[in-house]
Amino acid sequence: MKNIIAFLFFLVLLSISLNVEAHPGRTDANGGHTCKTNCEKYGLEYGEYHYHNGGGGSTNPSSTPAQTPTIQSNDKDCGEFASYDEVVQYWNEKGYSATNDPENLDGWGNGQVDDGIPCEPPSGYDFTKINNSPEQIAEKTAKQEKEKGEADGYPDGVEAGYHDGSQTANPTGSEAYVEGYKAGYSKGWEEGNKKFTSEKEKAEKAGNELGKKQDKLTIPKDYSQNDAVKASFEKGFIRAVTERDEAKKKEFNQKGYEEGKRDEYNVPTKEKEAYIKAYEEGYKKGQAELKESYVKQGYESAYTIVTYSEPKLEDQKYIDWYKEGFESNKEVDEIVSEAYALGLAGNTYNLPGKYKHAEKIFKHHYELGWQKYEEEKAENTNQAAAGVGIVVLAWVGRRFYVAKKMVG
Ligand SMILES: [Ca+2]
Ligand SMILES: [Ca+2]
């Protein structure tokens, strides 16, 4: 019995050994089959029917019957697949690889571990469909590298975008890594920059709100992480403070102006220096207008008052302004001299239209001139009379002398 078992085992081993050296493809019921792949390797024509291991033979006289009997095997050969896709499906299902190829599909039955591509692929076949093929491994590796690049590039891009930095990056690494990094960086940059822009706007608004309330600049932590965001906060703050100051200055200037006109000096003391200054400026302007009104009164009065007399005003300051105006009227001098000259020349009184507003002055000085004229005229008459008297006296004297002589 032991001998029989040993003999059968020997036959199985022989069968396997023969199949390993044969070309790919399973035999049919007759122990033969048609060659489909790599036939030239085995000295066969493509499509040539032949036998292995002594099967059949009667229908093909050229075949050489083998010495050993046919043994069925589960080992697949390339010739047994109807299409290359079937080869790949089988290979993938079995989980075979270049280093795990028990059925010798990769090495085409020559017992050699080949390149991880089973059987004979049609030209242009996508090798990445073949599990564990170098192409599929390369594709997976590239995908992983690209993903790693994206993961590395994204935060760098966010950081750069948030600080408004460069929009492009120059990473080093494999082509897939660089590609992934650039894509991740670009995506991150967009998001970082969007955040940057929105934070700047938010900061400026917040700064503006603070500036409306106070003069002291305090930047919240949220807005001090990024210099540009911080600057936006300050910008908004300064704008609000400036606007508030301008409005207040205007208000104090107006108050000062009105109080200056009313001559009520109520300068604010607890306000900002700029506000006090604005009040002072307004007050000064109001006072100037007030003074101008008294100066004008004095100036106008010079046309109607012959000799200056102090007006009845509640404040010495107003009296001084009035007097200043009165004395500053130099037009009156001209009217005075013109009127006086008219009278002095003995002309009849005639008020020129341009001096209607100063009639009183004109008339007064005309009369003074006329008075002088009259005086001069009278003096001339007296002198003439005196002259006549002398002549008479001389004549009288002479007559007297002559008479005396005659008497004597
Ligand atoms: Ca095989
Ligand atoms: Ca191969």
Q: Return d(Cα 168, Cα 175) in angstroms, integer.
A: 16
Pair (119, 165) in one structural domain: no
Ligand 1 centroid, distance to 115 Cα (angstroms):
16
The per-residue pLDDT of the chain, averaged, comes to: 85
Q: Determine, yes or no, domain membership for 199.
A: yes
- Ligand 1 centre to CA of 61 (Å) is 27
pLDDT in tens, 381-404: 888 877 777 766 676 666 666 666
CA of 119 to the centre of ligand 2 (A): 6
CA atoms within 13 A on the CB side of 313: 18
273-307 pLDDT, tens digit each = 999 999 999 999 999 999 999 999 999 999 999 99
User: Most distant CA pair in the chain: distance in Å?
Assistant: 236
Ligand closest to Cα of 77 equals: 1
- Which of 100, 131, 162 is at the close of a domain? 131
Report which bound ligand comes closest to the CA of 127: 2
For residue 284, tell me if it sits in a domain.
no
The 3-state DSSP class for residue 179 equals helix
CA of 20 to the centre of ligand 2 (A): 16
Nearest Cα neighbor of 182 from 161, 156, 144, 164 is: 156
Span 135-145, mean pLDDT?
96
DSSP bridge pairs for 51: 32
Hey, what amino acid is at 293?
S
Residue 113 CA to ligand 2 centre (angstroms) = 8
Q: Which of 210, 233, 252 is the last residue of a domain?
A: 210
Q: What is the DSSP string of 111-163?
A: S---SS--S-PPTT--GGGSTT-HHHHHHHHHHHHHHHHHHHHHHHHHHHHHT
**What mean pLDDT do residues 96-119 have?**
85
Residue 9 within a domain: yes
- 55 with 31: CB under 8 angstroms? yes
Nearest Cα neighbor of 192 from 153, 161, 229, 156 is 161
* 166: three-class secondary structure by DSSP: coil
Range of the domain at 149: 140-210
314-361: per-residue pLDDT in tens? 999 999 999 999 999 999 999 999 999 999 999 999 999 999 999 999
Q: Examine the domain organization and report whether 24 and 120 are in the same domain.
A: yes
Task: Summarize pLDDT for 31-71 with one digit per residue, the tens.
Answer: 455 556 655 555 556 666 554 443 333 444 444 444 444 44
Burial of residue 106 (CB within 10 Å: 0-12, 13-18, 19+) is buried
236 CB-near residues (< 8 Å, 6+ apart):
203, 204, 205, 206, 207, 208, 209, 210, 211
* Ligand 1 mean position, distance from CA 13 (Å): 15
CA distance 275 to 293: 27
One domain for residues 21 and 57: yes
> Final residue of a domain: which of 80, 113, 131?
131
Centroid of ligand 2 to alpha carbon of 75 (angstroms): 17
In-domain check, residue 243: no
Gap from CA of 105 to ligand 2 centroid (Å): 7
Q: Would 48 be classed as within a structural domain?
A: yes
User: Residues 211-221: what's their mean pLDDT?
Assistant: 96
Cα(139) to centroid(ligand 1), Å = 28
